Chain A
Amino acid sequence: DTGVSQNPRHKITKRGQNVTFRCDPISEHNRLYWYRQTLGQGPEFLTYFQNEAQLEKSRLLSDRFSAERPKGSFSTLEIQRTEQGDSAMYLCASSSKQGGAEKLFFGSGTQLSVL
């Protein structure tokens, strides 16, 4: 178990640029989540994949955001035309068990700063 890996750890970009983050979940986990965490707040749900299928998206995800999980392994989160309000920590989590008490394993996150 090597844990959930996220890259890059930090990303600084200028407003209007596109950015892409990558998440490598624990290998046997078929469920993958993206969360966003802003300063002073808890993580907020963004989207969920079961295998390669994106089954749910939060209303927080505007049309500038897109996430993929080709082949049900790693996932990418792209933000187009970044805005200063997109500055946040983007967290990825994975799990293998369905149910309300499932345990999520979180990565260390990607800290995005939009200048």
Chain B
Amino acid sequence: AQSVTQLGSHVSVSEGALVLLRCNYSSSVPPYLFWYVQYPNQGLQLLLKYTSAATLVKGINGFEAEFKKSETSFHLTKPSAHMSDAAEYFCAVSVYGGATNKLIFGTGTLLAVQP
């Protein structure tokens, strides 16, 4: 079965510091991987996705993630945190089963950005 594990339910960084949110996946087939962001009282928004075209994926708002098969990881990074990055971040893997592809989400990482 496919799954994702997010290490660290809460991460706090200072404004301007590197953001690193960790995600490890488990999959018996080449996975499609995603990072979504959820701001308070809003729905989830896609940050970026990995579809096997390139291992380094660039997303919106300066975020990027690198697919590392040897480490089964897909960590999310941003060189310099902004206050507006404070939100909850979810890693997800796409699973095909039944009639459709479904997203299996991790438990989320709440990012706090300190001034």
A-B pair count, CB < 8 Å, reads: 65
Complex contact A101–B103 (CB within 8 A): no
Complex contact A102–B44 (CB within 8 A): no
B32 to chain A, nearest CB (A): 4
Q: Is B102 an interface residue, CB under 8 A from the partner?
A: yes
Report which residue of A42, A44, A99, A106 has the largest number of chain B beta carbons within 10 angstroms of its beta carbon: A42
Complex contact A4–B43 (CB within 8 A): yes
Interface residues on B, range: 20 to 34
- Contact pick for B105, options A44, A101, A109, CB 8 Å: A44
Report which residue of B9, B46, B51, B105 has the largest number of chain A beta carbons within 10 angstroms of its beta carbon: B105
- Contact pick for B96, options A42, A50, A100, A108, CB 8 Å: A100
Given A31-B100, A100-B32, does the pair A43, B90 have CB atoms closer than 8 Å? yes
Complex contact B100–A55 (CB within 8 A): yes
Considering only residues 58-104 of chain A, those with a C-beta below 8 Å from chain B are 91, 93, 98-104
* Contact residues of A: prevailing secondary structure: loop
Q: Mark B35-72, 1 if CB is under 8 A from A, else 0.
A: 01000011111100101000000000000000000000
Cα of A55 to Cα of B45 in the assembled complex, Å: 25
Given A50-B100, A55-B98, does the pair A43, B107 have CB atoms closer than 8 Å? no
Complex contact A43–B105 (CB within 8 A): yes
Q: Is A41 an interface residue, CB under 8 A from the partner?
A: yes
19 additional contacts, CB 8 Å, given A40-B107, A43-B103? A4-B43, A33-B102, A40-B9, A42-B105, A42-B106, A42-B107, A43-B105, A44-B105, A48-B102, A50-B99, A93-B43, A100-B94, A100-B96, A100-B101, A103-B46, A103-B49, A105-B43, A106-B43, A108-B43
Interface residues, chain B, with chain A CB atoms under 8 Å away: 9, 32, 36, 41-46, 49, 51, 90, 92, 94, 96, 98-108
Can you list 16 contacts pairing A with B, beta carbon distance less than 8 Å?
A40-B107, A42-B105, A42-B108, A43-B103, A48-B102, A55-B100, A56-B98, A56-B102, A93-B44, A98-B101, A100-B94, A101-B94, A102-B101, A104-B44, A104-B103, A106-B44
